[in-house]
Chains A and B, each alone.
Chain A
Amino acid sequence: MSTTKTPQVNEVNEFLEIASDFEDPLEVIRESLSNSYDAGATEVEITIRDRPIGSEIVIEDDGDGMDYADLESFFDLGNSTKRDPSSDAIGYKGHGTKIFYKSEEVLVNTSKEGTNLRAQMEQPWEKLNNRVMPEYEVRERSVKEGNNGTHIRITGFKSGRGFSPSSLTYNKIEHYLKWKTLAGSTAHYFTDDYHEMDIYITLGDEIDDTQETLKLDNKLEFPDEQIEPGEGKFPESRMCKHYPPRELTVETDDGDTAIIEVVGMIGGKDARNELPTYGKHSAQFGIWLAKDYIKVERVNEVISHDNEFLHFFFVANCQDIELSANREKIRNKSSSIYQAIKEELSHYLSKIASDPWFKDYLNQRRKAKLSRRAESQQSSVEDREKRILDREQFTPSNDAEVVLGLERSNREGALPKIVVEDYDPSVEVNALVKQDDSLYASSIHHKLTDHFEADKPLESVDKIICWSYGDPDQLSELERHGYHGGDITFDLNTGRIEYQNGRKHNIHIVSVEQRFQ
């Protein structure tokens, strides 16, 4: 004897489980915005209050409204898959609205084509937890044609720990919306007939009384471009370049194709700080994968390891990634299409990273770092100068050959007399020398070219003392390409280096070898 059994689905548990994924009242707003957008709304107003009887979240839009079938989809689990999945609708997977069940009351008041429906569901969360499927009551009346729209009120939302409406601020909401919802959508870069939607948020004064209302749109925008470096100690920090929208086609070995729509920017710290921020700033830069043009997860590994992800902010949208019910994670990471998407992005980003502008930006960074370093050395040179002035006689601290050679050349009558007063090979400006009663910050090397091979700055030295010049072709390559972003000229006949990096520096070259001739 045999029997056939069908596994039973416990609908209540299903609801409980899905709703439990949502913790944050902001997720209520995220889902509502998507629903309003899908209903064609051009304006959405969201009001959040924290009342003694509990919180209240009200969402009102001027979209198409709902009929009976739409209402069913709104309350049912997974029912809205009836909609055309190829449309640009965000909410079509139909899990999102179940977040509304985590409350004490859901009230929906919606008008569509002359009919108004008012649906009320009481104690949904309590009932689910008592293993009872909550029901809702619908009342119908007719209204004037054309007065479409939806009004939803969620009372007593059950937040997770630390997520209560009372902890919200305008600032937090703004950044969250721009970061995690369609308020930060990149769709407008890719479609001509982009559907714009204004979003108004009002918080009760008991939550945040710093402003009346917050108004946002549904576009992610990058900080203004600034191609050239700025002034001051961190000239690169406001540099910013936009990389225009591009469509990349991805193909897997087994013939699946997908389109990636990528747009982004590279920029310094100040430019990046103009972006919205939700959570730690540094945790946000890099390369984001997006679905429905809303960022989901980062794939910073597509930037080659020699480039810090911190300089990049790119959003790569692909409709072929699949998301978990709460939209927090990508579900199909083991698929070949996901691998192919990463591959293609990595290729695209290596082009971005090879853009001469990016190299220049990094160079500005490096230059600024070097000049900051040179500045801090200046003070250490001053300290050492002071020590020399304070002490009575010179005490040698090491016996490097060039130093000895210089001393010997003095004894043999070479002019001018150049005396090493202080020598410390472990620091960048390794010597202080005295000539005609003045002290000069100096760099002592075997060959002049060693100074440049060691990547030492020129700003902080007055003299480079060397035995010989080294490879003249190496010096003329420096003249061709510049050094630390500045122009450099060697005049070996008069023993001078002219270095122009912002300020003009003249550096005296002392060839010890020549002092013996």
Chain B
Amino acid sequence: MGFKQKQHDNNGFEIANQAGAARTGTLQVGDTELKTPNLFPVVNFYAGGTSSSLYGGGIHRTMKEFMNGDEVINGGDYSEYFDGVMTSVASLTDYGITKERYEEYIDTPIKERDLFDFDGVLFIDSGGFKFLGDKTLDGSDFEVDVDQRTIIEIQRKLGADLVLNLDRPIEPDDDYETRIQKARMTAQNVDQFLELTDRQKQTRYLTLHGYNYSMLNTFLTEIEKVIGKNRVHREFDGVALGSLVPLKDNKGKLITAVSDCREVLDDWGFDDLPLHVLGISSSAIPLLAAVGADTFDSSSYLHAAINGKYHTSLYNTEPLDDVDFSNCDCPVCSDDKLVNWMEGDAEYQKDKLGAVSMHNLIIQKEEISRVREAISKSGTDGLIEYFEQSLSRHKSMQQHAHRVVNDSLGGYF
């Protein structure tokens, strides 16, 4: 019943090492292999502009210039930080796109565009959060009704390697009936999603919503009622846990949601499937990886930069004006031109903040590779030591670090 029976031989997840509930592995998506745990930076591929400006405006344009290794940013190779990238169909609505531009934009898959050089894994979210209310994709002079069929078509046209069904996220104060209703609506979409993506080459993830074991179990039960036990078990390459963004500041609840999700998946015989956590990042990553999350996506690197914050670690930021750039040896901070930009000597704010957000992303990516290494060491000592040196030294994080060490890694005593 494992993923080996699935339709694509080149999709799969191989677990290499385990430390308690944490694990490292290799996620195969098409021809690309990603090491897990891993972080997909959220990139806005359409942020205004035309194909010659990489469809980008503002800081998003500079980020894409980094992805592309453009001359503008001194031509460095940053591709290792973009081994996997997440974007959402919903981001199309952010910049008042016109019908003409929309058609031009979805005409060529992102990875096949002439001016754009990106060959990482492209993960395209359905945008369930955004489309929940009005069910339309709203352009400046047109509207497209949104349903599972339209979403999957856009995902396909943009050349997604990894896709999610259109989902109905829940809210923390939804009552039981509302959650059931959303699970049933999601199940209908899942049914259609499987049919529409059958014999397609994309890797497919199932979305789940819930904050504890019982909610997640109820959600899965509703999905199973609609699509049948067989398909729930056979046809998905992974699971994406959603609806956590409203809890992003409550690390205790995040840990419960993710570890309970892992437990539900194990009880349902999905233990081989990778678990993606939607929209959560930064300091929560090591905690959630320790309880069994495999991949993450986040735009916090970018939002930190926009708010003038420079990451000194995954858990700390410093106001941009106070930063001594010589303390960081990342490619951005080692490049005089980019340092000048970050110090304010840039023609455009987007270049100053774009450089900062690239640096922030590098810090996050490097930290997650440290988490990976810590899990890879034999036994749980590596990861416990990692927490000892990192999160448990931060007053606000300490108790959460202690909790995962106690719950998932065998404890201190």
- Using a CB–CB cutoff of 8 Å, the interface residues on chain A facing chain B are 243-244, 347, 350-357, 470-474, 476-477, 480
Contacts and interface: CB of A to CB of B under 8 A. Distances in A.
Given A471-B175, A480-B213, A243 B413 contact: yes
Contacts of A357: 413
B212 A473 contact: yes
Given A354-B399, A476-B213, 7 more contacts: A347-B393, A351-B392, A354-B412, A355-B412, A355-B413, A473-B210, A480-B213
B150 interface: no
B402 A473 contact: no
B4 interface: no
Interface of B: 175-176, 179, 210, 212-215, 217-218, 392-393, 398-399, 402-403, 405-407, 411-413
Nearest to B256: A477
Contacts of A244: 413
Given A347-B398, A473-B176, A355 B214 contact: no
Contacts of A356: 406-407, 411
A472 B176 contact: yes
Contacts, number: 52
Contacts of A476: 213-214, 217
A477 B411 contact: no
A353 B215 CA distance: 30
A326 to B, nearest CB: 36
A244 B412 CA distance: 11
A347 B412 CA distance: 13
Given A472-B218, A474-B214, A355 B399 contact: no
A351 B402 contact: yes
B212 A355 contact: no
Contacts of A477: 212-214
Nearest to B398: A350
A460 B399 CA distance: 35
5 contacts: A347-B398, A354-B403, A473-B218, A474-B214, A477-B212
Nearest to A469: B176
A471 B176 contact: yes
Task: Tell me what chain B mostly uses at the interface: helix, strand, loop, or mixed.
Answer: helix
Nearest to A350: B398
B409 to A, nearest CB: 12
Given A347-B393, A471-B175, A472-B176, A354 B402 contact: yes
Given A355-B406, A473-B176, A350 B215 contact: no
B354 to A, nearest CB: 34
Most chain B CB within 10 A, of A244, A351, A472, A480, is at: A351
Given A471-B176, A480-B213, A347 B413 contact: no
Contacts of A474: 176, 214
A247 B413 CA distance: 14
A506 to B, nearest CB: 23
Nearest to A478: B214
B175 to A, nearest CB: 6
A386 B30 CA distance: 77
B411 A355 contact: yes
Nearest to B211: A473
A495 to B, nearest CB: 19
B165 to A, nearest CB: 22
Nearest to B213: A480
B411 A473 contact: no
Contacts of B218: 472-473
Contacts of B403: 354
Contacts of A470: 176
B195 to A, nearest CB: 29
Contacts of B212: 473, 477
A353 B218 CA distance: 34
Contacts of B402: 350-351, 353-354
A476 B260 CA distance: 13
Nearest to B219: A473
Contacts of B210: 473
A480 B412 contact: no
Nearest to B179: A473
A299 to B, nearest CB: 17
A357 B411 CA distance: 10
Contact of A473 (B214, B392, B406): B214
A360 B266 CA distance: 26
Nearest to B393: A347
Q: A-B pairs with the 6 shortest C-beta distances?
A: A354-B402, A473-B214, A476-B214, A471-B176, A473-B215, A477-B214
B91 to A, nearest CB: 32
B209 to A, nearest CB: 12
A464 to B, nearest CB: 18
A449 to B, nearest CB: 10
Nearest to A480: B213
Contacts of A351: 392, 402, 412
Contact of B399 (A243, A350, A471, A472): A350
A88 B185 CA distance: 74
A471 B215 CA distance: 10
Contacts of B175: 471
Nearest to B216: A473
B255 to A, nearest CB: 13
A365 B175 CA distance: 33
Nearest to B176: A471
Contacts of B413: 243-244, 352, 355, 357
B214 A480 contact: yes
A241 to B, nearest CB: 8
Contacts of B393: 347
Contact of A347 (B214, B392, B405, B406): B392
